[in-house]
Chain A
Amino acid sequence: MRLFNWHIPGTRDLQKENDQLRKRIELLEKENGLRDQAASALRDANHALRMDVIKAQKTLDEWMSNYDSLRRDLQQRLEQVAHLQLERDPIAQLRQLRQEHGQERLRQNGAPEGTPTPKEKKEQTVKKEPALERKRDREAAIGL
């Protein structure tokens, strides 16, 4: 500002600061505007993603249920097949009858649940080592 054609000291500095502030404000406004737009776009994208997650969760639930149902069907089918095979094989039928009969006898004699039948017991018994092998083991143990 000029007064009587003189420049008043201080006004120039203020004017300079004023201009700089305006420039900085303009830049900040632009940046903030762009950032707000970016935030809005991100919000939209996240919303769409959340919807996809919900949809995927539903799809997965359907496949889980489908899997359980198929597994049940397969179990039933396998049981049916085993039953049919048993019906066609008289020897297997006899073996099963014997096993059931053995277990029934054990039950009647008061044996606790899970006690093996004499036949099962025999099958479970480990064969004894031959005498020669036992002798070799003994010798190896004492370093002969």
Chain B
Amino acid sequence: MRIFGYRIPFTRDLQMEVELLQQREASLQEHEASGLKTIRALHDEQYALRGELDALQRNITERKALCADLEQQLRAAGD
């Protein structure tokens, strides 16, 4: 802003500060977007891992039952 041909420094400082703050906000918004993407990917990964673990635990239970059955057959065959 100019008054009687002079530029008022305070206005220029304020404008510069606003520009800097706008840059800072843009950078934080980028960080926000990337953070959201990371969180989504981590959630997906967790979902997949839980599924894998559940399937493995089911298989272990099933295999244990089969082994118990075989052990029983072995005992019966030994009599």
- Please report whether the interface of chain B is mostly helix, strand, loop or mixed according to DSSP: helix
From A10, A11, A18, A78, give the contact of B77 (CB < 8 A): A78
Query: Looking across the interface, which residue of chain B has its beta carbon closest to that of A31?
Result: B32
- B52 & A8 in contact (Cβ 8 Å cutoff): no
From A29, A36, A39, A53, give the contact of B56 (CB < 8 A): A53
Q: Report chain A residues within 8 Å CB of B78.
A: 77
- A14 & B15 in contact (Cβ 8 Å cutoff): yes
Q: List the interface of chain A (C-beta within 8 A of B).
A: 1, 3, 8-11, 14-15, 17-18, 21-22, 24-25, 28-29, 31-32, 35-36, 38-39, 42-43, 45-46, 49-50, 52-53, 56-57, 59-60, 63-64, 66-67, 70-71, 73-74, 77-78, 81
Interface string of B23-52 (1 = CB under 8 A from A): 011001101100110110011011001101
> Quick one: given A15-B14, A17-B18, A46-B49, are A66 and B77 in contact (CB under 8 Å)?
no
From B10, B25, B32, B71, give the contact of A21 (CB < 8 A): B25
- A14 & B18 in contact (Cβ 8 Å cutoff): yes
Q: A137 vs B59: C-alpha distance in the bound complex, in angstroms? A: 55
- Please report whether the interface of chain A is mostly helix, strand, loop or mixed according to DSSP: helix
Q: Report chain A residues within 8 Å CB of B25.
A: 21, 24-25, 28
Interface string of B12-23 (1 = CB under 8 A from A): 001101100110
- A46 & B42 in contact (Cβ 8 Å cutoff): yes
Interface residues on B, range: 35 or more
B64: min CB distance to chain A, Å = 6
> Quick one: given A18-B18, A39-B39, A45-B46, are A32 and B28 in contact (CB under 8 Å)?
yes
Q: Report chain B residues within 8 Å CB of A59.
A: 56, 60
Q: Report chain B residues within 8 Å CB of A63.
A: 60, 63-64, 67
Query: Looking across the interface, which residue of chain B has its beta carbon closest to that of A29?
Result: B28
